[in-house]
Amino acid sequence: MSNDIQVTFDEKVNRAASVSGSRLSMLKVNYIKEILDGIITVINYKFEPVTVVIKIQLHGQLSNFSLKPKIDAVKSGPVIANAMHDLRWEVQVDPQQTLDIKYSRTFNRRQQKLNYTSFI
């Protein structure tokens, strides 16, 4: 069995862009705002062009797409810390080529409460 098409997904926290002290409080829950840089990579190992449909669900505020998604269905509400995006791309990848889709995502991460009694 061979892998003719490979799709990978990776995200990393952008420490330089994330604002220290940027916080959100909602319904007595505290969140820390983080900025993530994401990349979806499609590699075509075939000797012919292929069309690849990519579906992914991401939470947060999305921006800076290197390739705009064909569909971006957003679900949010007044008490939701991170909107949910159902994304879909249909991409043509030439033979023996790699296609990268890059984006940024601002995500409200729930702040953990420290239990100091566990350190004693």
Q: How confident is the model at residue 119 (pLDDT cuts 50, 70, 90)?
A: low
pLDDT in tens, 14-69: 876 655 556 556 556 788 888 999 999 999 999 999 999 999 999 999 999 999 99
* pTM score: 0.79
C-alpha to C-alpha distances, 109 to 10, 15, 34, 40, 59, nearest whole angstrom: 18, 14, 7, 22, 10
The pair of three-digit structure tokens given for residue 115, joined into one six-digit string = 């239990």
Q: Where are the domains of the chain?
A: 5-110
Q: How confident is the model at residue 1 (pLDDT cuts 50, 70, 90)?
A: very low
Length of the chain: 120
pLDDT in tens, 79-98: 678 889 999 999 999 999 99
* pLDDT score of 27: 52
